[in-house]
Amino acid sequence: MKTKYTFGSMLLAGLLAVGCTDMDTQPDGYYVTPEQKAEIVESNPERAAAGVTGIFAQMSTYMSVTGSRHNDFGYPSIMLFTDQNGMDVVSQDNGYNWSGNSLDYSDRIYTSNESKIVWNTLYGMIFSANNVIAGLDSNTSDPTVQGYLGEALADRAFNYWVLAQLYQFNYADHKSSPCVPLVTEENASNVAVDGAPRATVQEVYNQILSDINQAITLLTAADEGGWVRDDKRYIDLGVAYGIRARVNLTMENWAAAASDAQAAIDASGATPYRLNEANKPTFNNINDHAWMWGILVEETDRIVTSGIVNWISHMGSFNYGYCWYSGGRQVNKKLYDSISETDIRKGWFTNAEGISVNLTPAQQYLISDYVEYEPYTQVKFAPYNDELYTSTNANDMPLMRVEEMYLIKAEGEAMSGGNGAATLQEFVQTYRDPEYTCSLAGTALQDEIWRQRRIELWGEGLSWFDIMRLNKDVDRRGGFFPDAMMVFNIPAGSDILLWRIPESEIQANPSLAEGDNNPAAPLPDPVGDIEY
């Protein structure tokens, strides 16, 4: 007999937790009408606010899935896993690097901790969003309720967009392939008993589009009614357009992606880091004008008081944490060498001699002499409050910067007959490399935009989605990976690239069997490296 664990126990625990505060049922279990929902929210607005806060609080949690693993800290864990799966974020496989399983793809073993962290983190946020959506009237004219409901729908769309790209290949060629189970406020009670099968890729994207379209409608009305999100950890209209721009890009709805990217730029009011801002370590403050959406971290958060169980502990170069002992994170040498000497982003990484022109003498001393990092080490992410050697790892984490929207707009235009080269050239010349020019077109231009995305968004947890949607190989040859056993050349479409549904979920979900999972692929074989 299967025991309810992931869908069953997690969902039932969630329902029990809301109990009498759930806005969809009364204590005696009778259904609450939309009119009664509106009355409940009107008399207890803090209830809806708490539900929305709970969704985004789950973005950054302390060992909430495993209870013991130091790479278990919410969505940034997924950012770290997927970046390490690719070829642009290089690191040593040693006893202090908690990303070793993602370097060699043993995270694909469906009993791995990483497998559980990915699944439970994303579905945990979906379940929280479902509870908020279930309790709010979609026909409301109250701007605050419109804002809350729009946020919950947009967040659910975001989580399914992430899941879709981890558990199946690209949308364009795999519409009828199995993706992930769909759990919404409408079927949640049935899922708790009967489980849910894998929906197709098309079905999942239909749900994503339904959610994000409704979110944009609601957030537009909320904006017009004067509603404003509390801070950038929450979703507003600009972020919702940004999410839909990502979705349309993934679906190859090129013109729609470009249009949504421009709408995101306009609605957000965000502006890119300028040349004199991005030519130094930064990317640590959610209030920066370039950030549209991020994870707000407080000094009192448990991930911070832990000292080392946080994203910047693993990812940073200037702060105390695992980074000092694991060897830190380096950029792929081939990618680094492709960056022009006049591009300020060249200084986001040290060169072959371990030097970056972006650093002050004190910063350079820490990198070269105090820790003695290897060449090509990242110096993009500044420490908390720009304090060198700090052990207070309270960095905010970026989820969406406006620079990404300019790159989406360029790609969307390039692939739909527009002048994407001009958009790309203007962006790069203005904000990154005054001497940059581009006259490419078609797929050559798309590949150049991909290269620009790999540089601009390095280390921000987005690289894997490009690999999957563009159907690219994972080729680490010539990337200066320090461990020969981690040098792979994995062809696009290889089974090992797909995550597997955790064994605990297969056992818990009555609608899933072992044969419904993605194939159990052998770990990739190392290949001979090449000089570059």
Contact of 454 with 486, CB cutoff 8 Å: no
Structural Rg of the chain based on CA atoms: 23
> In this predicted structure, what is the pLDDT of residue 48?
87
Tokens of 154: 């947009």
> In this predicted structure, what is the pLDDT of residue 247?
99
Residue 366 and residue 131: Cα distance in Å, rounded?
47
> In this predicted structure, what is the pLDDT of residue 354?
98
> In this predicted structure, what is the pLDDT of residue 415?
98
Residue 392 and residue 407: Cα distance in Å, rounded?
33
Q: Which residues of the chain are modeled with pLDDT < 70?
A: 1-45
Residue 490 and residue 497: Cα distance in Å, rounded?
8
Number of Cβ atoms within 10 Å of the Cβ of 484:
10
Residue 435 and residue 498: Cα distance in Å, rounded?
40
> In this predicted structure, what is the pLDDT of residue 46?
80
Residue 280 and residue 278: Cα distance in Å, rounded?
5
